[in-house]
Structures are given as C-alpha cells and as structure tokens.
Amino acid sequence: MPARLDFVTAEDLSAYLDDQCDPDLLDALRNVTEQDERCLELVSAFLTQSRFLAQSLDPILEEPVPERFTVLLRAHKAKTDSE
C-alpha cells in the first residue's frame, strides 16, 4: 500500500504553502498532514524554508530596479512595439 505522502507533489506543497491550491487539494493536504507524520514533517520543512526565503529575499522587492535594466526594458519594448 502506498504511503499517503506518495500522491503529494512538491508543486502541491508549494501551492498549499502559498495559499494557491484548489479547495479539494487543500482538504486532502490537511487530512494527510493530520494522518501521516512524514507528510507533516515535510510540510513543516517546506514551511520553514518558505519563511526563511521570504524573510531573506522580500526586502529585495522594495529596492529600486537598477537603471541599466530599465534602459534595457524600454529599448526592448520600443523594438517589439515597432515590429
């Protein structure tokens, strides 16, 4: 018999942690984490990693876009608009 964790993919866990999964998957993951210690440990590890990454990287979102990138984007947009 396959473990309950066998049907849960990394993409499912990412969607679950990001509150992006559909209601059926959400219910299934809640049930499986309540019933399967391995799944609960994996979800906890994903959550810890997600929080660490957010804490570490979210401040970068507040930084201004470097001017050289803005120039490149404007040039690309102008080129594609003229085609």
- Return the DSSP state at 18: T
pTM attached to this predicted model: 0.59
Greatest mean pLDDT among 12-16, 18-22, 56-60 lies in 56-60
pLDDT in tens, 62-73: 999 999 999 999
**Which pLDDT score, from 0 to 100, does residue 6 have?**
61
Are 22 and 35 in contact by the 8 Å Cβ rule? The answer is: no
Pair of tokens at residue 66: 């470097």
pLDDT in tens, 45-62: 988 998 999 899 999 999
- Return the DSSP state at 21: S
Pair of tokens at residue 36: 């399967």
Q: Is the pLDDT of residue 24 over 80?
A: yes
Are 39 and 5 in contact by the 8 Å Cβ rule? The answer is: yes
